[in-house]
């Protein structure tokens, strides 16, 4: 869990033009699948995370369960 705010958090659904690897579960995101590209800037460092639709749903659920003071790890 993260307990500090991101300077930037951008979450975009994308249709895969080629195969990718989900950064959370390491499963293959197949060409044509919807996945989520997350752009983050935290403490001056930028990062990009790719999550499959299943891991994105889990991440959203964990965020909904939080009290607002914590955030689930981007890689679950």
pLDDT tens figures, 8-49: 888 999 999 999 999 999 999 999 999 999 998 988 889 899
Total domains in the fold of the chain? 1
Q: Is residue 73 part of a domain?
A: no
Structure tokens at 18: 């080629």
Provide φ and ψ at 15, rounded to 5°: -90, 125
Domain residues for the domain of 17 are: 8-65
Q: Is residue 49 part of a domain?
A: yes
Query: pTM score, two decimals?
Result: 0.81
User: What is the arithmetic mean of pLDDT over 55-76?
Assistant: 82
Beta strands in 1-76 (DSSP E): 8-15, 20-21, 28-29, 34-42, 45-52
The Cα 13–Cα 8 span in angstroms is: 17
Q: Is residue 60 part of a domain?
A: yes
């Amino acid at each position: 869990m993260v307990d500090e705010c991101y300077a930037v958090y951008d979450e975009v659904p994308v249709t895969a033009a080629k195969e990718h690897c989900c950064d959370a579960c390491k499963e293959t995101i197949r060409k044509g699948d919807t996945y989520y590209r997350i752009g983050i800037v935290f403490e001056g460092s930028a990062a990009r995370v790719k999550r499959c639709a299943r891991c994105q749903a889990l991440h959203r659920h964990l965020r909904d369960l939080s009290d607002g003071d914590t955030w689930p790890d981007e890689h679950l």
